[in-house]
Amino acid sequence: MPIDNGALGASVFGGLDRERVQFAEKTLCTGGPGSAGGCHFAAVEYTAGGVRYTREHVASAPGRRRRRPADGRSTRRDLRHAARLRVLHRGGTRTDGADGSVTVSGADTVTIILSAGTDYAAEYPAYRTGVDPLAAAADRVERAATTGFGALRAAHVADHRALFDRVRLHIGATAGVAEMLLQSHRGVVDLLPALPVFWASGSVRGLRARGDVTVDLDWAAGTPTRVVLRTGQDGPVTVASGMFGGLFEVRDAAGRRVDVRRDGPRITIPARRGRTYVAWSLVRVEPSAPERVGDAFPVEVTVAATGRTVPAAELSLSLPEGWTATPATHRFSPLRNGTSRTFAFEVTPAASASGQHRVTATLQGDDWQATGMTGVLSG
């Protein structure tokens, strides 16, 4: 996993017996910003052989060092690069190998401090600072060793939060939003009872209704198109929605048709505990209009058959008081499943109209009614 402090960065990876740290200093490479989430340190914890292991890596911006002796020099174009590493341990033993390796055995904790730098300067024409990068890196390492890992980590977290934890955004009104989408305090699961004008389409998952009912809901043109009900107890569940005044179907999770009792825009499902019931619309009525309107404006209404043939009906618009539509109605002939048809109206608002307004299209059959709405701004 990658970490960096703006000057020294590293990728940390490995396993139980070997931890690998691939590091780079900013004047040796280029890159881009990383995630601002969390506190920006890498950590891994695991248990092996009955021993709990914790490894943490912090790229400390306040200290310009990474917590993890290697000297080096790059002669290409005379750029000097240096890195200093120090190993601290609590408990156990340390062995320094002839090849420059360091082995720590039986320790409770091991802290490795690494700092690096170059003599590069972004200044024409020399592009060099003239400062020994090894001395600077060694000084940072010694100061870090004196400070201790706990204090370095705390300073790092505080510095990171000062940059990325400065703003709190609380949208609020969560309960109020849920009440716009679902109400159930009167013994009926009422879907979209107070939908705002410009929330015509959307979806929501996991709404909770009284009676231990969980609801998933998709809607378009202000009317549900698909409803999923998961019931936590036996007994009838009554659901109210404009969708149930039209053409619809209810099935269980196995795809079996469920017989429901219908009363206008309400249905009652003989629910069983732990069952899932899915209802979806077989006809959609979707009006569209310009968002901002003037004296007169067009409204197009598309009717789609989404599960069966839609029988003959009459299409009209419900408008704010004083508004008129031309024509007043359209005759609607049967529409085959899987097809759609679009109808045009011209709407003239009242002279004093201003603000948000709802335009509702109604497809009225012999014993059914399907609706859809859109919103406009006038004035």
Dmax of the chain from CA atoms?
Answer: 96
Give the pLDDT confidence of 318-327 residue by residue, as tens digits: 999 999 999 9
Q: Write the CA distances from 165 to 40, 162, 235, 259, integer angstroms.
A: 12, 6, 49, 54
**Which percentage of the chain shows pLDDT scores above 90?**
56
304 confidence band (pLDDT: 50, 70, 90): very high
Written as six digits, the tokens of 157 are 């977290």
Enumerate the β-bridge partners of residue 172: none
Is pLDDT at 6 greater than 70 in this prediction?
A: yes
> Can you tell me the distance from the alpha carbon of 58 to that of 9, in angstroms, rounded to the nearest whole number?
10
The pLDDT value given to residue 84:
92
Burial 326-343 (b: 16+ CB within 10 A, else e): eeeebebeebeeeeebeb
Give the pLDDT confidence of 28-87 residue by residue, as tens digits: 743 334 455 556 667 778 788 787 878 777 777 776 555 543 343 433 457 888 999 999
Give the pLDDT confidence of 241-250 residue by residue, as tens digits: 999 999 999 9
Give the pLDDT confidence of 169-212 residue by residue, as tens digits: 666 666 678 889 999 988 999 999 999 988 999 999 999 999 99
In this structure, the dihedral spanned by the alpha carbons of residues 321, 327, 329 and 330, taken in order and rounded to 10 degrees, is -150
Output phi, psi for 289, to 5 deg.
Answer: -155, 160
Q: Calculate Rg over the CA atoms of the chain.
A: 34
> Can you tell me the distance from the alpha carbon of 146 to that of 63, in angstroms, rounded to the nearest whole number?
12
Is residue 358 within 8 Å of 320, Cβ to Cβ?
Answer: yes
Average pLDDT, the chain: 87
Give the pLDDT confidence of 361-371 residue by residue, as tens digits: 999 999 999 99
Give the pLDDT confidence of 329-346 residue by residue, as tens digits: 999 999 999 999 999 999
3-state helix, strand, coil in the chain (%, to 5): 10, 50, 40
Is residue 342 within 8 Å of 302, Cβ to Cβ?
Answer: yes
pLDDT, greater one: 231 or 12:
231
Averaged pLDDT, 289-293:
92
What are the structural domains, with CATH classification, of the chain? 2-67+76-165 (2.70.98.50), 173-281 (2.60.40.1180), 283-378 (2.60.40.10)
Is residue 376 within 8 Å of 290, Cβ to Cβ?
Answer: yes
The pLDDT value given to residue 64:
58
> Can you tell me the distance from the alpha carbon of 344 to that of 296, in angstroms, rounded to the nearest whole number?
13
Is pLDDT at 214 greater than 80 in this prediction?
A: yes
Q: Which of 8-17, 31-40, 114-123, 179-188 is predicted least confidently?
A: 31-40
The pLDDT value given to residue 1:
66
Q: Write the CA distances from 95 to 83, 100, 105, integer angstroms.
A: 21, 10, 8
> Can you tell me the distance from the alpha carbon of 4 to that of 33, in angstroms, rounded to the nearest whole number?
9
Burial class from Cβ neighbours inside 10 Å (0-12, 13-18, 19+) for residue 258 reads middle
Is residue 164 within 8 Å of 61, Cβ to Cβ?
Answer: no
Residue 78: helix, strand or coil by DSSP? helix
The pLDDT value given to residue 167:
77
- Which residue, chain included where needed, has tokens 């006038």? 378
14 confidence band (pLDDT: 50, 70, 90): confident
354 confidence band (pLDDT: 50, 70, 90): confident
Conformation bin of residue 136: beta by default, left when phi > 0, alpha when psi is -120 to 50: alpha
The pLDDT value given to residue 174:
61
* Cβ partners under 8 Å of residue 168, min gap 6: none
Q: Which of 373, 374, 363 is nearest to 246 (CA)?
A: 363
Q: Which of 368, 323, 371, 364 is nearest to 192 (CA)?
A: 371
Is residue 361 within 8 Å of 301, Cβ to Cβ?
Answer: yes
Give the pLDDT confidence of 258-281 residue by residue, as tens digits: 999 999 999 999 999 999 999 999
The pLDDT value given to residue 30:
34
